[in-house]
Amino acid sequence: MTVESFLITGAALATGERADIRLEGGIIAEVGLIPDAAGATVVDADGLIALPGLVDLHTHLREPGYEQSETVLTGTRAAAAGGFTAVFAMANTSPVADTAGVVEQEASLGLAAGFATVQPIGAVTVGLKGEQLAELGAMARSRAAVRVFSDDGFCVFDPMLMRRALEYVKAFDGVIAQHAQEPRLTQGAQMNEGALSGELGLAGWPAVAEESIIARDVLLAEHVGSRLHVCHVSTAGSVEVIRWAKARGIDVTAEVTPHHLLLTEDLVSSYDPRYKVNPPLRRAEDVEALRAALADGTIDIVATDHAPHPVEAKQSEWDAAANGMVGLESALSVVHASVVANGLLDWADVARVLSAAPARIGRLRGQGEAIAAGAAPELTLYDPSASSEFGLERLAGRSVNSPYLGRTLPGRVVSTFHAGYATLLDGVVQPSDEVARHASAAGGDRG
Ligand SMILES: [Zn+2]
């Protein structure tokens, strides 16, 4: 079977330079002024920015176990629609991804779907119960080659378990990705703790519940000389702790979600459960601190925390509604709106925080490479000039719990290329059977 080749013409690279890009033979074959490429499908990218394929370090794919919310197929289809070519799949599935068998199954489902590389995250503790370390070594040595471990959804609260996990993963250059939430301080919590939670009569979720765990964990990481990653940082105080830890030379990285860069707790006044998320939306001062931290490198990456839920889990009273928002399809536009439009980040920075750095933190090969001859054929074409109301037609996953529906957002992902093939072309997600056929012809999805 012949693998299709593409000639992308007139794209602006993240550096601002204009170039044609030829994808052929499972690599980016050529970048520059390319007069002609016989047999290639020509993609006109005039006015579009070519970014390396986006990499999400924090995606909930829900399969196995919660297929009414999302499957590996629908979640990676959402990834393609959002410009992502790789997603790290969180471990809170059913069964939990706490054994070599489950993580290998997850990776295989990703390969079969073909839309994006699915790199499984392993659970830190058995069943996410926080009682006993999972088989970290077996997951690392498995075909899924797990390097990121997380109990996300839950905090690894026991300091002794956290210490042992940090020590254990050093042997294979792994990292513990912590969902920093002191459980006792957040029992029954419904929104950010402050004046507004008092006014609305909702139980508060104090910033210190996040900040105290991060402070403890950076010290533990320093003590054992291991690598810590902090999930979805949401407060100005957390930024201060991480800034201090980095200045001290502690090996810590951190992520912020698109929604924590754009939305504030004021939206909770509507009692619309689309705005219910863990960690909660915070104050405008926190949003400002998170933006500044992303710009100055204190926060390393943007990760979506794509958390699909079926309609019935979100269309209920605020107290009963599930936490979480879908985020893959809107991520690039929200980053554009929150930190690019105001000049805090340029497109080269976007390529770093949404592609190169997450691939590096997760030790994922064949992703996050700058667009150049010889690099893996993973890229996305983005139209920065489009501005439109974010509608249901932009969502390509199974769930529709997006906080952006009805909101005007800048830009639009036009095309996505994964393993040298268009998974999204001219705004249309390509048929899954064709994508899967290509992925098997390409001999896998690692490019
Ligand atoms: Zn989390």
Residue with tokens 């300091």: 159
179 appears as a binding residue in the annotation: yes
Q: Quick check: 365 pLDDT over 50?
A: yes
157, 129 contact by CB (below 8 A): no
* Dist. CA 109–CA 25, nearest whole Å: 24
Q: 49 has which bridge partners?
A: 12, 382
Mean pLDDT of the residues in the chain: 96
Average pLDDT over residues 155-159: 98
* β-bridge partners, 418: 421
* In the predicted structure, residue 444 carries a pLDDT above the cut 60: no
Minimum mean pLDDT among 38-52, 313-327, 430-444: which range? 430-444
Q: Residue 177 and residue 174: Cα distance in Å, rounded?
A: 10
C-beta separation of 258 from 338 below 8 A? yes
Residue 103 confidence (pLDDT) above 60: yes
Read off the pLDDT of residues 369-423 as tens digits, 9 standing for 90 and up: 999 999 999 999 999 998 999 999 999 999 999 999 999 999 999 999 999 999 9
Which pLDDT belongs to residue 386? 84
| Interval between CA 58 and ligand 1 midpoint (Å) | 9
Q: In what order do the strands lie in the sheet with 228-230?
A: 148-149, 175-178, 228-230, 252-256, 301-302
pLDDT value of position 443: 62
Ligand 1 centroid to residue 142 C-alpha, Å:
25
Which of the four pLDDT bands, split at 50, 70 and 90, describes residue 215? Answer: very high
Which two three-digit tokens encode residue 355? 């592609």
pLDDT at 1 over 60: no
Q: Is 342 annotated as a binding residue?
A: no
62 carries a ligand binding annotation: yes
Q: Give the pLDDT score at 3.
A: 63
CA of 153 relative to ligand 1 center, distance in Å: 5
Q: What is the pLDDT of residue 441?
A: 80
d(CA 126, CA 188) in angstroms, rounded, equals 24
247: CB partners within 8 A, 6+ apart: none
- Decide which of 2.30.40.10, 3.30.70.60, 3.20.20.140, 3.40.190.10 is the CATH code for 52-361: 3.20.20.140
Residue 445 scores a pLDDT above 70: no
What's the pLDDT at 188?
96
Domain ranges, ordered by start, for the chain? 5-49+375-441, 52-361
Q: Does 418 appear as a known binding residue? A: no
Q: What percent of the chain has pLDDT over 70?
A: 98
Task: Determine if residue 60 is labeled as part of a ligand binding site.
Answer: yes
- Three-state SS string over the chain comes to CCCCCEEEEEEEECCCCEEEEEEECCEEEEEECCCCCCCCEEEECCCCEEEECEEEEEECCCCCCCCCCCCHHHHHHHHHHCCEEEEEECCCCCCCCCCHHHHHHHHHHHHHHCCCEEEECECCEHHHCCCCECCHHHHHHCCCCCCEECCCCCCCCCHHHHHHHHHHHHHHCCEEEECCCCCHHHCCCCEECCHHHHHHCCCEECHHHHHHHHHHHHHHHHHHCCCEEECCCCCHHHHHHHHHHHHCCCCEEEEECHHHHHCCHHHHHHCCHHHCCCCCCCCHHHHHHHHHHHHHCCCCEECCCECCCCHHHHCCCHHHCCCCECCCCCHHHHHHHHHHCCCCCCHHHHHHHHHHHHHHHCCCCCCCCCCCCCCCCCEEEEEEEEEEECCHHHCCCCCCCCCCCCCEEEEEEEEEEECCEEEEECCEECCHHHHHHHHHHCCCCCC
Q: Is the pTM of this model over 0.95?
A: yes
Domains 5-49+375-441 and 52-361 equal at CATH topology level: no
**What is the token pair recorded at 162?**
């956290």
Domain 5-49+375-441 fold is Urease, subunit C; domain 1 (2.30.40)
- Residue 151 is assigned to a ligand binding site: no
Taking the centre of ligand 1 as the mean of its atom positions, its distance from the CA of residue 238, in whole angstroms, is: 15
- What is the rounded (10 degree) CA torsion for 106, 118, 96, 224? 130
| 446 confidence band (pLDDT: 50, 70, 90) | very low
Averaged pLDDT for residues 32-45: 92
* Distance from residue 179's CA to the centre of ligand 1 (Å): 5
| Cis amide prior to 64 (ω within 30 degrees) | yes
Active site residues: 305
Share of the chain above pLDDT 90, in %: 94
Strands 428-429 and 421-425 come out as antiparallel
CA of 59 to the centre of ligand 1 (A): 10
